[in-house]
Structure 1
Amino acid sequence: MSNSGRKINYAVRPAKNVERKMMRDLFIRLRSFARLEDYRYVGFGSKYFSDFILFHKILNISEMISIEADVNNRARYEFNKPYAGITMEWGKSTEVLPKLVAKEGKSIFWMDYDGLFEKYMLEDVAIISEKIESGSVLALSFNCESLKIDKTDRENDLREQLIKMVGKEYVVNNLDTRGWKSSKKLAIFLKNCIADKIKLVLKSRNYGLSENDRLEAKQKLFFMYADGATMATIAYVFSSKIDQNHAEACRFSDLYFVREDDEPFDISTPNLTIKEVRHLMEIRPCVEKINTKIFAQKDVDALWENYRYFPGFSEIESF
C-alpha cells in the first residue's frame, strides 16, 4: 500500500465518489441481518477518510478502523481523523488483519488498494474469509490497467506478469493470449482469482460444520471506473444457510448497479460544468430538449444513468 494520498485527493475523484455512494446503498440493506450501528467498518482511510465520514453519517457505524502502512506520517493521519472514535492500526494489511478478524461481530471490510494487484491481496482475502461472520461484507478495489505484453513472446510474458500478480496456481498452461489489452479481461481474471481463494478457504472452514452454519460468499458488486487509472471493485456478501431469509430480505438485486456475474457495471462520469449539469437535470428525461451542439450523448447518458449519485463540487472558501 503506497502513500497515494499524497498524489490523489480521494474526496473529489468523481467516479470514486459515485462508487462510494453506491456501496453505501448496498451496505444499508445489511440491516436485514442486524442493526447497522452494531457493524464494524475496516478500511484504508488515507488522510481524507472520505468513506469513513460517509459510512458513519449514513450508516451510523461507530466502530471504525483504518489500516495505514505509512507509519512515518502517523501524526498527520491522527490529525486528519474526522472522528476521535476511529482507531488507527499501523502496518501492512497482511500484518494487521489477523488481529482484527479475531474479534467477533459483523463487519464491512473494504480493502481499497490503490496499486496494481499483488499476491498479498489474496492473502488478505484468505485472512478475512477465515473469520468473517454471516451478514458481513468483503470488498476489494484495485488497479486493473491493461497489461503491456511483449509482442515477440506473448504467452511467456503474459504468464510471467500474471504469476507475479496472483501466483502460479491461478495461471493455466497454454494461456490464451487474446484480449489482454482490455482492462476488463484483467479485471475478470483477478475477480475469479479472488472468488477461487474465498471458495478454497470456505471449503476448509465449512468442513465439520452443520449444514445450517456453513458459509457461502455471493458476489454483489463488480464496478469498473477510471479517475485516471482504470480500477475495479468487487464486493461479496457472506451468509450462512440459517441466515438465508435475512440475505433474501436485503433485496440486493433491486439496486440497478448490482452485478453477480462477469459483466461489470461501468461507472462513467461526464465532464460537465455546474451550469450544464443543472440544465440537464432540469430537462431530464426529455431527450428531444438536448442541445446537441453543446452536449455529447455519452455525457448525457453518463449523467442521467447515475444522477442520484453524481457529485456536486463547488469552491466554498475565498482566499
Structure 2
Amino acid sequence: MSAGSSLPYRLRPNKAVDRELFLSLLMRLTPSLSLENYQYVGLGGPFLEDFRLVHARLGLKRMACVETEQEVHKRQLFNRPIASIECVHATLEDYLDGHDFEAPAIIWFDYTEPKGITTQIERFARTIGTVPLGSVLRVTLNANPESLGKPDTNEVSVEIDDVASSDRKEKPTVQEWRLARFKERVGQLFPSGLSADGMTQKRFGFSVLRVLKLAVEKEALNFRDRRIVWALATHYKDGQAMVTAALVVCAADNTAIEELVKGWEFYSTSDSPHRLDLPALSTLERLTMESNDDVRAKMTFELPKSDMGEDPFSVFKKFYRIYPHFSRVEL
C-alpha cells in the first residue's frame, strides 16, 4: 500500500466521487444479482472506509480485507468497523490463489505501483475465468506517464507550440521516448496504433485502459460459458493520476445485465471513461452551482483547470449529486 492511499478522502475529492460511482453501480446491480449474498474482497487501507460503505449500502456480511504491510494490518484490526470483516495479512494474489469462491464475489484490485502494471493487468484478466458467474471485478491502475521514467536532456529533442529544436530528426520527443518505454513495459499487450500523443498527462490514462481492455478480451476468448460486460471506467487525479474499470462476468447467454448497465446514467466503458476532474469549491460556490442554470453569468469568474484539461463547470454539473461534502464534527 502506498502512502498516498492512506490520505483521507477529504483530500481526494475525485477519488471520493470515483468510489461513489462504484457504489452506485453495485446498488443498480443488487436487485438482479442479489449482491447482499456476495463476498467482498479488497484492500481497505488503515480505515476500511470502503468496507463500511459496502456493508451499509448493500448489506454484505462476508468481507475480506487483504493487506501486505504488517503495521497497516494491525491498524485494520483495531479500526475494523464491522466485526464480520476478515482482516488478512497477505497479498491479494496469494489470498485469491488460496481461496475457493463458493458464490459470486465482488473483488476490487486496488493497485498503485506503476512498475508492476503489466503483471497487475494480466492478473486481473485471468481472474475473469476463475470466479463464479455473476461476479463483479474492479481494478484501479496507476496512470501517471512520468512513472515511465525521465530521459536525460541530451536524449530527447524539444517541441514547444509546434516549434521543434534543431535535433528533432535525430532524437525523439519526451512523449516518443515514453512510448518506447511503455511498449517495453507492456510487451505483447501494446495496442496497435498507439502513438506518442497517448503518453501525455491528459491521454495516458486512456492508453492504460486500452491495454487493460486488450488483456481482458483476449482472456475472455478462452471461455465459452461466460462473457464480459463493461460497466464503469474512470480517469482521475488526486496527486497521482489513476484509472479504474469495472465489469460483470456474465453467463454467455445473459443479455439482461448488459441492458441494465447500459441504462444506468453513469454507464461508461474502458473506451470512454468518465474524466473526474472536479474543482475545489467553497460552500457558497457549490450551492450557487447547484441552484443556477447559467452559473458562469451568476459567478462572473472562471474556475481554474487542472492539467487534465476538463471544464470544471461541465464536470461539476455531471457529478454534482455525488460531489463530496466534508464538515468538521467535534466528538
TM over 0.5: yes
Q: Could you say if the C-alpha distance between residues 266 and 191 of structure 1 is closer, same or farther in structure 2, counting changes exceeding 3 Å?
A: same
Per the TM alignment, residue 194 of structure 1 is displaced from its structure 2 partner at its CA by 2.2
Provide closer, same or farther for how the CA distance between residues 10 and 190 of structure 1 changes in structure 2, counting only shifts above 3 A: same
- Alignment partner, residue 252 of structure 1: 261
Which residue of the partner structure matches residue 111 of structure 1? 109
**1:163: which partner in 2?**
184
SS at match of 1:131: coil
Q: CA deviation at 1:159?
A: 2.8
Give 2:163's aligned residue.
Answer: none
Question: What letter is aligned with 2:2?
Answer: S
Unaligned 5+ residue runs, structure 2? Answer: 157-170, 306-310
Residues 9-24 of structure 1 correspond to what in structure 2 (within 5 A)? 9-10=8-9, 12-24=11-23
Aligned 8 A contact 2:226 2:249 in 1: yes
In the superposition, the TM-score normalised over structure 2's length comes to 0.81
Question: Who is 1:291 aligned against?
Answer: 299
- The alpha-carbon distance between structure 1 residues 12 and 135, as it changes in their structure 2 partners (threshold 3 A), is farther
* Deviation sequence 1:66-125 (CA, Å, 0-9, x none): 11111244321210111111112222222222123x212111111121232523312421
For residue 134 of structure 1, what is the aligned residue in structure 2? Answer: 133
- Give a deviation string over 1:145-168, Cα, whole Å, max 9, x none: 12456424565763334433x3x2
Which residue of the partner structure matches residue 198 of structure 1? 216
Deviations 1:250-272 (A, max 9, x none): x2123333213522211121211
Question: How far, CA to CA, are the matches of 2:232 and 2:75 in structure 1?
Answer: 33
1:188 aligned residue (182, 206, 223): 206
- Is the CA contact (8 Å cut-off) linking 1:94 and 1:120 kept in structure 2? no
Task: Please give the root-mean-square deviation of Cα atoms over the aligned residues, in Å.
Answer: 2.7
Structure-2 change in CA distance of 1:114 and 1:237 (3 Å): same
Matched, 1:2 2:21: no
The corresponding residue for 2:321 is 308
Match of 2:242 in 1: 231
2:57 maps to a residue whose letter is I
114-123 or 226-235, which deviates more: 114-123
**Counterpart code for 2:21:** M
**Against the structure 1 CA distance between its residues 198 and 105, is the aligned structure 2 distance closer, same or farther, given a 3 Å change threshold?**
same
The answer (yes or no) to whether the contact 2:229–2:248 under 8 Å persists in 1 is yes
Alpha carbons of structure 1 residues 265 and 288: separation in structure 2 relative to 1, 3 Å = closer
Matches within 5 A, 1:76-91: 76-91=75-90
The offset of 1:171, in angstroms, is 3.1
Structure 1 unmatched ranges of 5 or more: 207-213
CA contact (8 A) 2:143 2:204 kept: yes
- The alignment covers a number of residue pairs equal to 303
Cα pair distance change 1:11/1:54, threshold 3 Å: farther
Aligned pairs for 1:23-42 (under 5 A) are 23-42=22-41
- Specify whether residues 291 and 35 from structure 1 end up closer, same or farther in structure 2 by C-alpha distance, changes over 3 A only: same
Residue 274 of structure 2 aligns with an amino acid whose one-letter code is: F
Q: Which amino acid aligns with 1:230?
A: A
User: Displacement, 1:56?
Assistant: 0.9
Identity, in percent, stands at 23
CA-to-partner distance for each residue in 1:13-44, whole Å, 9 max, x for gaps?
A: 21111111111111112234332211111111
User: 1:112 is aligned with what amino acid?
Assistant: D
Q: In structure 1, the residue corresponding to 2:234 is in which secondary structure?
A: strand
Distance (whole Å) between structure 2 residues aligned to residue 188 and residue 52 of structure 1: 28
TM-score (norm 1): 0.84
SS at match of 2:22: helix
1-side partners of 2:132 and 2:279: how far apart? 39
